[in-house]
Structure 1
């Protein structure tokens, strides 16, 4: 349990020291997840449109 506490303490220190890197990493993750969600939605919409035209 103490090792987990120490690990989190070190991690939060690193986040505080490297604010710009942390911000850019978070921004990259947010953009990446958003892009994946958008692509899946576009794919499902295109599939539904094709199925509607065929039926």
Structure 2
């Protein structure tokens, strides 16, 4: 009976590991304050587009 429980537990653990790996890491407030270059570039493009449409 113990071996059956152990095999079920290991299957559950591997399933939860798969879900965890597919998620994006949580960004800290420090990460939000320092955007990546692509994010900053996109913000500038959107701002310029809106400014030109006014």
TM-score, length of structure 1 as denominator length: 0.44
TM-score, length of structure 2 as denominator length: 0.45
**Does 1 or 2 have the higher relative contact order (CA < 8 Å, sep 6+)?**
1
Greater C-alpha Rg: 2
Question: Quick check: which one's helix share is greater?
Answer: 1
